[in-house]
Amino acid sequence: MDSFLIKGGAPLHGDVAIGGAKNAVLPIMAATLLTPEPCVIHRVPNLSDVQFMSKILASLGAEVKPQGHSLAIRAAKIKGVGDYDLIRKMRGSICILGPLLARQGHAIVSLPGGCVIGARPIDLHLKGLKELGAKIRIDSGYIHVRARRLAGNALFLGGRCGPTVLGTANVMMAAVLADGVTIIESAACEPEVIDLADFLNAMGARVSGAGGPTITITGVKDLHGAEHEVIADRIEAATFAIAAAATNGEVTLHGARADHMRAVLDKLREAGVKIERIGPALKISRNARLKPVDITTLPYSGFPTDAQAQMMVLMTLTPGISIITERIFESRFMHVSELARLGADIAIEGPSAIVKGGKPLSGAPVMASDLRASAALVIAGLAARGSTQVNRVYHIDRGYEQMDVKLRKLGARMERLEET
């Protein structure tokens, strides 16, 4: 397994291009299963999760052709099941369930299981599909769904922790081919849901209200092929912005969507980070001492859980106490014990991490546990004195395209140690 060796202390300077959003492209790829016609997706980030989703689509009979940052997908005929060995490796792949059911009238997909950030149940996905008329049976670790015809319905998708992003995507993708009108209440409002709705509408679907808590879908008979450009990755942009602030550098983000990043930009400003709009780009710098800020992760448009770990690193570098509360995933503090190895002073009290910041971090070998925790460890390594080796960076390659290459271009002293 590859690792990153980082010599900390160099401020990041320069320009970085933000790629297409991982969490938008995965459901959009799944949506291509809804039509036998060819679809083309542009601004596709080159990530192992995307390659993985391509493998899943191919295993279902689709032809997937990557070309640079575009993907041509044609699911002329589909067959087979969402196999355990494929699904368990990437939980996001559960979003093939809705399109498979809508297209074929039945689907068999493995239950994805939990992951290090929490149990990650799919009860809300199944509840939504049931309310569209699907019969659901769980057998030997597989979800069997069947519906001769899906029928539109008014349904509520809110759960214990609020709305569900992929659950909303799954129900939306099933409802586009259902008879009649579906109204999803307490739908997820994330920009990735809007991007999926835009793609579905380009395919001939009738989806309105995406981006708000009520989405209305009027079913159509069939969908056709479409071409679509994926939105910018707001979490990649947030990660580079935080890395710039953490290293006291000055980085201009190109292609980032400030309108999708309000909560993160607001907290960065509150912490003393300077954010300037330069035409369509965002320049991040630090003009003053950092100030501690309290953060609670929430569904969009609140502070994203996917930027919580990175922001925690910034707070370890900030004199004073900040309280970071995780409200989306119950175990998303795996980075805390690794940050402690670099000298961070963080105590966990229930869903909150109490960060006593301001002591300089010093490099150490650390272990990446999941995608965003790994990104946080890289930022910590960039800001720490001495050398940090971040092991198991395959987690980073799942969701950041060439993070090491992009960071080196910004002046980071780091190299990828490839396992031979």
Question: How far is 38 from 220, CA to CA, in rounded Å?
Answer: 18
From the list 50-58, 123-131, 177-185, 207-215, the region that binds ligand EPU by CB under 6 A is 123-131
Q: Does 415 bind ligand EPU (CB under 6 A)?
A: no
* 115 labelled catalytic: yes
> How many alpha carbons fall within 13 Å on the CB side of residue 187?
29
SS3 percent helix, strand, coil of the chain, rounded to 5, is: 35, 30, 35
Extract the tokens encoding 191.
């920009």
> Closest approach of Cβ 386 to ligand EPU, in Å?
28
Please, which residues have CB within 8 angstroms of residue 20's CB and are 6 or more apart in sequence? 42, 43, 44, 45, 69, 229, 230, 231, 232, 233
Among 10, 25, 15, CA closest to 57: 25
Binding residue for ligand EPU, selected from 110, 305, 316, 322, defined by CB under 6 A:
305
Interface residue with ligand EPU, options 29, 124, 173, 410 (CB under 6 A): 124
* H or E stretch covering 166: helix 165-175
Which of the stretches 115-123, 210-218, 238-246, 388-396 binds ligand EPU when contact is defined by CB under 6 A? Answer: 115-123
Name the residue nearer to ligand EPU (CB basis): 263 or 382. Answer: 263
The closest alpha carbon to 178, from 148, 202, 157, 152, belongs to 152
CA distances, 221 to each of 34, 147, 176, 258 (Å): 11, 15, 9, 37
Integer Cα distance of 331 and 391 in angstroms: 20
**125 near ligand EPU (CB under 6 A):** yes
Decide whether 121 or 365 has the Cβ nearer to ligand EPU.
121
- Residue 165 Cβ, how far from ligand EPU at the closest point, in Å? 3
> Considering only residues 84-113, where is the footprint of ligand EPU by CB under 6 A?
92
Q: Does 167 bind ligand EPU (CB under 6 A)?
A: yes
The type of residue at 359 is K
Give the pairing of strands 250-254 and 13-17: parallel
382 burial type by CB count under 10 A (0-12 exposed, 13-18 middle, 19+ buried): buried
Binding ligand EPU (rule: CB under 6 A), the pick from 66, 118, 180, 386 is 118
Question: For ligand EPU, which residue of 33, 40, 97, 165 counts as binding (CB under 6 A)?
Answer: 165
Whether the CB-CB separation of 27 and 196 falls below 8 Å is answered with: yes
Per CB under 6 A, the segment of 153-161, 196-204, 250-258, 400-408 that binds ligand EPU is: 153-161
Choosing from 61, 66, 105, 121, the residue that interacts with ligand EPU (CB under 6 A) is 121
By the rule CB under 6 A, 155 interacts with ligand EPU: no
Q: Rule CB under 6 A: say whether 343 interacts with ligand EPU.
A: no
For position 320 contacting ligand EPU by CB under 6 A, the verdict is no
Binding residues with ligand EPU: total (CB under 6 A): 25
Per CB under 6 A, does 329 bind ligand EPU? yes
**Token pair belonging to 311:** 């922001």
> Contact, 96 vs 30, CB < 8 A?
yes
**Pick 45 or 399: Cβ nearer ligand EPU:** 399
Per-residue tokens: 226: 């479409």
Of 159, 213, 343, 358, the one binding ligand EPU by CB under 6 A: 159
Inter-residue contact 340 to 346 (CB < 8 Å): yes
Catalytic residue among 39, 95, 115, 189: 115
Tell me which stretch binds ligand EPU (CB under 6 A): 3-11, 39-47, 162-170, 310-318: 162-170
Per rule CB under 6 A, is residue 122 in the interface with ligand EPU? yes
CB 343 within 8 A of CB 8: no
Residues 385-404 that bind ligand EPU (CB under 6 A): 399
What is the smallest separation between the CB atom of 334 and ligand EPU, expressed in angstroms? Answer: 12
Stretch that binds ligand EPU, among 135-143, 164-172, 198-206, 338-346 (CB under 6 A): 164-172
Q: What is the DSSP secondary structure assignment for residue 303, as one 8-state letter?
A: B
Distance of CA 271 to CAs 275, 336, 410, Å?
A: 11, 20, 22
CB closer to ligand EPU out of 161 and 220: 161
| CB-nearer residue toward ligand EPU: 311 or 384 | 311
Query: Does residue 166 bind ligand EPU (CB under 6 A)?
Result: yes
Site for ligand EPU, rule CB under 6 A:
23, 26, 92, 118, 120-125, 159-161, 164-167, 188, 305-306, 328-329, 371-372, 399
Q: Which residues are catalytic?
A: 115
